[in-house]
């Protein structure tokens, strides 16, 4: 069975690499004997999706293209699947080894291990072990959100998605239709940057606020993807990281540690409260609302009014 699958994968890869135009599932099924022998359409579809994912795991870049009739086709361009000559010194190999150790999820761990194997095949010296160098360092990036993997794949394949999203100021989630661009981790939280079709503009979404399943849509992107997606800079701006003003708040003792980490001064008030001075910029009101009754804004008055408005909106549902 292993030989049969390897032969099937090889035939699929040759078909995708040898075509000058996208091939539909129907055309691929008619071209590969193992697919013709499938008992049903469902059996073929499951087999094809598994094979396509396996080839991508092996490093083949497969594009998904939709024609004018709405039919989806697949191809693997030769110029996208050539690995240029690679020369790495010991320090560069060590950096790659550390990067491979970052991921905890089995899917990403396997991809990282496979990438290092490909680098060895491309000329990485045998006496350089990227896993052993600087072995005392064990970087980790936790991913707890179920939406991470489907969004990661959607970003890679350039597929629009639909998901339910609950804003900090909303009591209930709302559906969002998004063309995903990039995922990035910032201050322990994962964020997605993309084009929000309903709002016709770029938006950044925190993955922990996505509820339910992420559903893919078989359509093309309608907005151009920026050359550089500044997820971290956008989130930092919304969180007040680029603030040039200050705000004074009251915070319950032993609460709001992220706020305490940002504070430029902290003064004990007694009775279970402290007074903090924190940077004030765009988006600070939405962040403060997340701490609920543990935070009271003292000044400026405009920030206090914004927080009160958001709380009232949440209370109304």
Element (H, E) at 212: strand 210-216
State the pLDDT at residue 160. Answer: 93
Contact 45, 25 (CB under 8 A): yes
Q: Which residues contact 312 (CB under 8 A, 6 or more apart)?
A: none
Rounded CA separation 87/103 (Å): 24
Q: Is the pLDDT of residue 200 over 70?
A: yes
SS3 64: strand
Place of tokens 């291990």: 113
- What is the rounded average pLDDT of the residues 269-280? 91
Rounded CA separation 285/297 (Å): 9
Lowest-confidence range among 99-108, 203-212, 292-301? Answer: 99-108
SS3 47: helix
DSSP summary character for residue 84: P
The CB-side HSE value for 27 (13 A sphere, CA atoms) comes to 12
Rounded CA separation 302/140 (Å): 40
SS3 266: strand
Strand 189-196 and strand 265-270: pairing? Answer: unpaired
Confidence of residue 140 (pLDDT cuts 50, 70, 90): low
Rounded CA separation 135/122 (Å): 24
Q: Is the pLDDT of residue 128 over 60?
A: no
Confidence of residue 1 (pLDDT cuts 50, 70, 90): very low
pLDDT by residue (tens digit) across 239-262? Answer: 555 666 889 999 999 888 888 988
* Tokens standing for residue 154: 């959607």
What's the mean pLDDT when you consider all of the chain? Answer: 81
Lowest-confidence range among 75-79, 113-117, 136-140? Answer: 136-140
Rounded CA separation 136/60 (Å): 33
CATH code reported for the domain at 145-237: 2.30.30
Rounded CA separation 250/295 (Å): 6
Whole-number Cα distances in Å, 248 to 144, 242, 307, 312:
33, 17, 13, 21
pLDDT by residue (tens digit) across 52-70? Answer: 988 988 888 898 888 777 7
SS3 annotation, 72-101 = EEEECCHHHCCCCCCCCCHHHHHHHHHHHH
SS3 248: strand
Question: What does the chain come to in residues?
Answer: 317
- What is the rounded average pLDDT of the residues 202-226? 88
State the pLDDT at residue 257. Answer: 87
| Side-by-side strand order, sheet with 265-270 | 265-270, 273-280, 245-252, 295-299
Q: Is the pLDDT of residue 123 over 90?
A: no
Burial code (b: 16+ CB inside 10 Å, e: under 16) for 103-137 equals beeeebeebbeeebeebeeeebeeebebeebeeee
Q: Is the pLDDT of residue 104 over 60?
A: no
SS3 44: helix
Q: Is the pLDDT of residue 108 over 70?
A: no
Q: Which residues of the chain form CATH 2.30.30?
A: 145-237
- What is the rounded average pLDDT of the residues 80-103? 69
Nearest Cα residue to 199 out of 219, 181, 213, 179: 179
Higher pLDDT pick, 282 / 202: 202
């Amino acid at each position: 069975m292993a030989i049969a699958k390897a032969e099937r994968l090889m035939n699929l890869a040759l078909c995708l690499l040898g075509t000058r135009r996208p091939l539909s599932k129907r055309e691929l099924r008619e071209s590969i004997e193992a697919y013709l022998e499938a008992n049903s359409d469902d059996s073929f579809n499951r087999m094809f999706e598994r094979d396509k994912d396996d080839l991508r795991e092996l490093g083949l870049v497969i594009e998904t293209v939709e024609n004018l009739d709405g039919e989806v086709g697949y191809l693997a361009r030769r110029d996208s699947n050539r690995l240029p000559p690679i020369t790495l010194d010991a320090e560069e190999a060590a950096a790659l080894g550390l990067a491979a150790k970052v991921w905890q999820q089995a899917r990403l761990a396997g991809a990282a291990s496979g990438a290092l194997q490909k680098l060895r095949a491309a000329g990485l010296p045998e006496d350089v072990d990227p896993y052993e160098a600087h072995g005392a360092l064990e970087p980790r990036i936790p991913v707890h959100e179920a939406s991470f993997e489907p969004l990661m794949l959607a970003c890679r394949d350039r597929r629009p998605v639909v998901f339910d999203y609950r804003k900090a100021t909303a009591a209930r989630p709302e559906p969002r239709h998004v063309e995903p661009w990039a995922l990035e981790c910032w201050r322990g939280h994962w964020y997605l940057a993309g084009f929000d079709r309903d709002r016709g503009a770029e938006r950044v979404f925190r993955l922990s606020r996505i509820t339910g399943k992420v559903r893919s849509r078989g359509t093309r992107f309608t907005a151009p993807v920026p050359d550089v997606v500044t997820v971290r800079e956008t989130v930092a701006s919304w969180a007040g990281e680029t603030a040039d003003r200050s705000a004074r708040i009251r915070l319950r003792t032993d609460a709001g540690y992220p706020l305490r980490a940002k504070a430029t001064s902290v003064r004990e008030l007694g009775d279970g409260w402290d007074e903090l001075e924190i940077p004030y910029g765009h988006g600070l009101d939405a962040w403060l609302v997340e701490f609920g009754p543990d935070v009271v804004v003292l000044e400026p008055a405009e920030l206090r009014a914004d927080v009160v408005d958001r709380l009232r909106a949440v209370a109304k549902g």
